[in-house]
Amino acid sequence: MTRVHPLADIDLERVVILDDGVVGGARLQGEAPSSGELSSMAVTDRGGAAQELREQFDRRGYICIPGLFEADDVDAAREAVFSKLKSVGEVTGDPVAGVYSGTSSRRDGKRDLGQFWREVSEQWPLRRLTHSAALHEITGQILAGPTVAQDFVFLRASNPGRHTKVHSDTGFFTRQTDQVVTTWVCLGDIPLELGPLFVIEGSHKHATVLSRNKGFDVARDTDRQASWGETPLSIAKTLSCKVVTRHMRRGDVVIFGMQLLHGALDNVDTGARIRLSCDVRYQASAAPRDPRYFGSNPTGTTGAGYGELQASKALDEEWIVR
């Protein structure tokens, strides 16, 4: 069964109220959404029939399953990741809290940033979530058969001031097969002011999106960017779609297809908290595997391994737009 929480009234100056009355500040590339521009993400019960789950996935372009992972398991992953960041001066206090220190020594001693982020990303407390039986089961229902998880994961630690621009994943992950889905794992509570995932619901079927994505490969078509230049609100208006999000809680999972437009709200948290999440792609087991993302030492999209990821940079450095 699917539950959709209605959008409540919006304080145009500061907050939106989504998802059972939870209040949080919301910004999308600096824009404050007005009434009607931001809606609540539908949630899906894990115990539903596989056919119903596939129908929801096809219609909306995503499914959101709240609380798939236990809080203690998520906290163990947070502690593992943030302890590593604390070792380079980027986190202060209790690692599980994930509070940004405002400084970084990640580049000291000519540290290999790619190797550092690989070590962070390959820790067992994180992998036991991203490569879990639960995700194999759900992605298998969506893709109607056994699935395999890519070894290369996209762990993101986003401190205040950061956001992720609108894009689709097809240009990164469909070189060998289009039977691929992204699983987004919420590694801690992410209220609206902390910058949770958003998706542009229904955009995966829009002719403009499909035309733009056709044949695109971000590593080969170096004259193009995967990110859209327009803001999420303007894109949604042009496509006659809606931007949907929710107050994400630790252990929530969102699974979406390669064509769906998505991104992350701005982290505007005044308490300097770091938003932590991880993406991992699952594909049909029988489909050809892209060697860039599989194996003991995957090279990643461009061949630079974990060093190509935004998250491999020190937290006090700017992200690049891809």
pLDDT in tens, 75-101: 999 999 999 999 999 999 999 999 999
Classify burial at 108, counting beta carbons within 10 Å of its beta carbon; exposed 0-12, middle 13-18, buried 19 or more. exposed
What is the amino acid identity at position 163? H
**Which two structure tokens, joined as six digits, stand for 312?**
């491999």
- Is it the case that residue 246 has pLDDT exceeding 70? yes
Q: In this structure, are residues 192 and 16 in contact, taking their beta carbons and an 8 Å threshold?
A: yes
321 part of a folded domain:
no
* 313, pLDDT greater than 80: yes
pLDDT tier, 36 (very low <50, low <70, confident <90, very high otherwise) = confident
pLDDT reported for residue 48? 79
Q: What value does the mean pLDDT take over residues 2-9? A: 34
pLDDT in the model for residue 25: 78
Q: Write out pLDDT tens, residues 198-233.
A: 999 999 999 999 999 999 999 999 999 999 999 999
In a domain, 319, yes or no: no
Mean pLDDT of 114-139: 97
Q: What is the CATH number of the domain that holds 214?
A: 2.60.120.620
Mean per-residue pLDDT over the chain, rounded: 91
pLDDT reported for residue 111: 81
Whole-number percent of the chain with pLDDT over 70:
91
Q: What is the pLDDT of residues 264-286, one digit of tens each?
A: 999 999 999 999 999 999 999 99
- What is the average per-residue pLDDT within 138-162? 96
Range of the domain at 246: 2-312
Identify the band that residue 110 occupies on the pLDDT scale cut at 50, 70 and 90. Answer: confident
297 has a pLDDT exceeding 70: yes
pLDDT digits (tens, 9 = 90+) for 171-202: 999 999 999 999 999 999 999 999 999 999 99
Give residue 167's pLDDT.
96
Q: How far apart are CA 16 and CA 207, in angstroms?
A: 30
CA-to-CA dists, residue 138 to 6, 194, 251, 277, 284, angstroms: 26, 27, 15, 19, 12
Average confidence (pLDDT) over 297-312: 94
Residues 6+ positions from 72 with CB-CB distance below 8 Å: none
pLDDT at 12 (0 to 100): 32
Share of the chain above pLDDT 90, in %: 83
**pLDDT at position 4 over 50:** no
- How far is it, in rounded angstroms, from Cα 272 to Cα 265? 15
Q: Is residue 1 pLDDT above 50, yes or no?
A: no
Kindly state whether residue 152 falls inside one of the protein's structural domains: yes
Residue 318 lies in a domain: no
Q: Between 320 and 84, name the one with better pLDDT.
A: 84
Residue 318 sits at φ, ψ, to 5 deg, of -75, 145
Asked if residue 320 is part of any domain, the answer here is no
**Positive or negative, the Cα torsion across 158, 44, 129, 118?**
negative
Q: Of 24, 58, 17, 66, whose CA–CA distance to 42 is shortest?
A: 66
Radius of gyration of the chain (CA): 18
Rounded to whole angstroms, the Cα distance separating 135 from 242 reads 27
The helix/strand/coil state of 302 is coil
Please tell me the total count of domains within the chain: 1
SS3 of 130-176: HCCHHHHHHHHHHHCCCEEECCCCEEEEECCCCCEEEECCHHHHCCC
| Predicted pLDDT at 24 | 57
pLDDT at 5 over 50: no
pLDDT interval class at 16 (50, 70, 90): low
**Does residue 148 lie in a domain region?**
yes
In a domain, 133, yes or no: yes
What does pTM read for this prediction? 0.92
End-to-end CA distance of the chain: 37
Compute how many other C-beta atoms are within 10 angstroms of the C-beta atom of residue 239.
Answer: 17
